[in-house]
Amino acid sequence: MKKKLITLGAVASISLFLFSCGTGGEDETVSSTSSKVAFYLTDKPKMDVDEVDITINKVEFLHTGRGNECVLFEYDPTAGEPNPLKDVNLLELQDSYLFVNETECEKAPYNRLRVDFDREVTVKKDGQLYTCVVEGFDRGKGKQPNRPHCVGESCYVELNGAVNVAANVENVGVDFDIKNSKIIIDNTGNCSIMFKLSPLHIDKEKFKAKRFKTRGFITDLDTENQEFTLHHGKREFTVNYSQVQQDNIDQILTFAENNYFDRRVVVDVKCFDFEKETRTCDAEEIKLILRAVQVENLDDINKTFQITLTDGQTITIDYSNADVDDDLENGDYVKVEINSATYNELDGTYIYNAKKIKVIEMDDEEMNENHMNDNNNDMDNDTDNDSDDNGMNNDQNNDTDNDSDNNGMNQNP
């Protein structure tokens, strides 16, 4: 990748927050000692940049004194699945919240929300890509706020605040406060970011005002009634796309359904209306995402290239109107976002029109994942039930970062 280092001003704020789960059907029961917690991702960015990509690898509740732990989301590279939170463009989430995972947590007090993420953050500004490295934030005098700790290529932050999974869970967030961050470039051109993180409470009305967004694999496509079933792990959503105004959307969805078992083919849906009880989405936008596919037969003049799927099928991508983050070359691995298709009368095939293309670097581990064919996209845990019997108290005023129980937070005994 051809990236440069640059100093940036205010970049973005990212929020990770949890949402209470209601009853979703008679088959959904919850243990008296546990409750369901759903994990979403959203953002409220500054608009002086074009893109902010961050990779999140793990989110979990902890109690540093009692040893309580509940993993809300974790990327497992040995499972053969791409990380759903790899290079997430936060600016695309400014008006929506992305459903990532749902898990069952023990009803118990927790005093940390820990977030693990990659140390490099990629920013696009005025058409240029830049890379900065996250560094720890030090306020001095032994007073450390909710700050990132970085080792090698990874960082984590443990956010203070009593989080009690018991009843009436509300939304709680994490604010990557880059607006008040320090960005430093030394005389060798190395760029570092030092920023403070803090808990962020999001009231329910503000949360509900955003669009629901999810992604996964589709089945049961009904082009006559314009509906399909979207599978996200063990979750299923019914999607009506009658209001989507995208050229040849039926063909795009047919392609996605026919390639259900190819892990690289994902459908991203944004809903203008979402019924949580029935998990029904009225879609306003649908994107076909092809992850980690390889460029073949690149035509620089006509702005097209081809990709080959695991079943040997070859399709043509038109990138003449796409936002491409780097010069394309044959053999590059790319992430392609497709929003429409054009019928080619000469040969009776469809050309898929790319909206955005990102050239990605593939390590050996990802190369192995890329060649696995069966679809086992379980981003959820093995259980699939909801509960209104969840709870959370979030003390946002604490600004210390020690690991004892006696840290000034409101905690249940």
Number of H helices, E strands in the chain: 3, 25
The torsion angles phi and psi of 252, rounded to 5 degrees, stand at -60, -45
Distance CA 294, CA 79 (A): 22
The predicted model gives 392-398 an average pLDDT of: 37
Residue 277: the pLDDT is: 80
Q: How confident is the model at residue 112 (pLDDT cuts 50, 70, 90)?
A: confident
The predicted model gives 213-235 an average pLDDT of: 93
The set of residues, in sequence order, having a beta carbon less than 8 Å from that of 387 and lying 6+ positions away, is 21, 22, 23, 28, 30, 35, 36
Does residue 365 sit in helix, strand or coil? helix
For residue 255, give the H/E element and its range.
helix 249-258
Does residue 370 sit in helix, strand or coil? helix
pLDDT tens per residue across span 347-358: 899 999 999 999
Residue 126: the pLDDT is: 72
Q: Helix, strand, coil: what percent of the chain each, to 5?
A: 5, 50, 45
Whether the Cβ atoms of residue 242 and residue 183 lie closer than 8 Å to each other: no
pLDDT tens per residue across span 295-330: 999 999 999 999 998 888 899 999 999 999 889 999
pLDDT tens per residue across span 44-62: 655 566 777 889 999 888 8
Domain ranges in the chain are 14-208
The predicted model gives 202-215 an average pLDDT of: 73
Q: How confident is the model at residue 406 (pLDDT cuts 50, 70, 90)?
A: very low
Distance CA 228, CA 241 (A): 8
CA of residue 4 relative to chain centroid, distance? 25
Q: Is the pLDDT of residue 376 over 90?
A: no
Residue 29: the pLDDT is: 47
- In DSSP terms, 288 is beta-bridged to 267, 338
Q: How confident is the model at residue 77 (pLDDT cuts 50, 70, 90)?
A: confident
Q: Is the pLDDT of residue 411 over 50?
A: no
Residue 356: the pLDDT is: 94
- Candidate from 2-11, 122-131, 260-269, 397-406 with smallest mean pLDDT: 397-406
Residue 140: the pLDDT is: 52
